[in-house]
């Protein structure tokens, strides 16, 4: 229901924008389409990877690897996977939901989400170029530590 309300609100807003200034609205729609075209290959790749992972790994295997009973080893595995993968937020959360449904633990999913959003192993070279080695290392280390702290807090709250 809420989604339908948001779609209606967006449609009405687009209509009002179109009435006020057709040229700007068309230009905005073209920019939005370009952004969509840029995101689409990444999005499709991630969906493909998720599909393959869920097809190859059974819920039992996911549970053993990053399930509640996997403990700190599972948390570390989830952190490493999250830190290495470069997944946008709009893909990370559905992936996390799918993993939870297939036996992953809450702490493991929390650390996976945190590291995939904040720790950038793949982006380190670019980050070093713009911010320097020291700032990059400090930022990534603090993000990794924060991810474990949040996972521990979630573990305490949910236990």
pLDDT per position as a tens digit, 40-91: 887 787 778 777 877 787 777 877 888 888 888 999 999 998 898 877 777 7
Query: pLDDT by residue (tens digit) across 100-113?
Result: 888 888 999 999 99
Confidence of residue 121 (pLDDT cuts 50, 70, 90): confident
CA-closest candidate to residue 108, choices 141, 64, 143 = 64
Is the model's pTM score more than 0.95?
no
Q: Are residues 77 and 116 in the same domain?
A: yes
Answer yes or no: do 19 and 74 share one domain. Answer: no
CA atoms of 136 and 126, how far apart (whole Å) = 10
Q: How confident is the model at residue 159 (pLDDT cuts 50, 70, 90)?
A: low
Shared domain for 35 and 85, answered yes or no, is: no
Does residue 68 share a domain with residue 36?
no
How many whole angstroms separate alpha carbon 140 and alpha carbon 131?
12
Task: Tell me if residue 120 falls in helix, strand or coil.
Answer: coil
- Of 56, 86, 101, the one marking the end of a domain is 56
């Amino acid at each position: 229901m809420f989604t339908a309300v948001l779609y209606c609100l967006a449609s009405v807003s687009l209509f009002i924008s179109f009435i006020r200034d057709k040229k700007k609205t068309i230009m905005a729609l073209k920019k939005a389409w370009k952004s969509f075209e840029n995101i689409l290959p990444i999005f499709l790749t991630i969906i493909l990877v998720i599909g393959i992972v869920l097809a190859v790994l059974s819920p039992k295997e996911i549970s053993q690897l990053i399930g509640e009973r996997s403990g700190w080893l599972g948390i570390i595995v989830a952190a490493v996977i999250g830190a290495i993968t470069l997944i946008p937020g709009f893909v990370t959360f559905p992936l996390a939901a799918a993993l939870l449904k297939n036996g992953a633990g809450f702490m493991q999913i929390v650390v996976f989400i945190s590291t995939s959003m904040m720790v950038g192993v793949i982006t380190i070279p670019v980050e070093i170029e713009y911010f320097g080695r020291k700032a990059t290392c400090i930022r990534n280390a603090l993000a990794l530590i924060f991810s474990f702290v949040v996972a521990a807090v979630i573990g305490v709250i949910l236990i």
